[in-house]
Amino acid sequence: MSNWQNFFSGDDEDEDEEAFYESRFSTKDAVIFLIETNKSMLEKSGDDEGSHFDLCIKCARSVLSNKIISSDKDLIGVVFFGTDKHQNKNDFKHIYVLQDLEQPSAARILELESYLTNDNNGFETKYGHSSSFSVSDALWCCSNMFSQCTQKLGHKRILLFTNNDNPHTDNVAFQRQAKTKANDLNSIGIEIDLMHLKLPGQNFDVSKFYQDIICAPEDEEYDIMPDASDKFEELLTRVRTKDHKKRSLGRFNLCLGSGLDLSVSVFSLTTKTRKPYSVKLYKKTNEELKTKVTYFCEETAEPLMPSDIKRFQTFGGRKIVVEKDELQEMKSFYEPSLVLLGFKSRSSMKGHFHYKESKFLYPDENRIRGSTQAFSALLQKCLARDVVAICRYVPRKNSPPKMIALLPQEEELDEHNVQIQPPGFHIIFLPFSDDLRKLSFSEVTRANPDQVDKAKQLIKKLQFKFHPSSFENPDVQTFWRNLEVLALDKDEPDEFTDLTAPNVDRINSRAGALINEFKQIVYPDGYSPGAAPKRKATGDTGGSKRSKTDASEIDVAQMAADGKLSKLTVADLKSFCQAKKLQTTGRKNELVDRVKEFCGY
Which residues are designated catalytic? 24
Phi, psi at 426, each rounded to 5°: -85, 130
CB 132 within 8 A of CB 168: no
- 293's CB contacts (< 8 A; 6+ apart) are 8
The Cα 118–Cα 384 span in angstroms is 67
In SS3 terms, 240-282 reads as CCCCCCCCCCEEEEEEEECCEEEEEEEECCCCCCCCCCCCCEC
One-letter amino acid identity for 163? N
| DSSP codes, 107-153 | HHHHHHHTTSSTTTTTHHHHT---S---HHHHHHHHHHHHHT--S-E
The Cα 485–Cα 494 span in angstroms is 9
Strands 75-81 and 28-36: parallel
One-letter amino acid identity for 324? K
Beta bridge partners of 156: 30, 190
**Buried/exposed code over 175-205 (b: 16+ C-beta within 10 A; e: otherwise):** bebbbebbeebeeeebebebbbbeeeeeebe
Terminal CA-CA length for the chain: 68
Which uninterrupted H or E stretch holds 343? strand 337-345
| DSSP codes, 463-508 | -----GGGS--HHHHHHHHHHHHHHHT-SSPPP---TTS--HHHHH
CB 197 within 8 A of CB 58: no
The Cα 363–Cα 530 span in angstroms is 53
CB 76 within 8 A of CB 104: yes
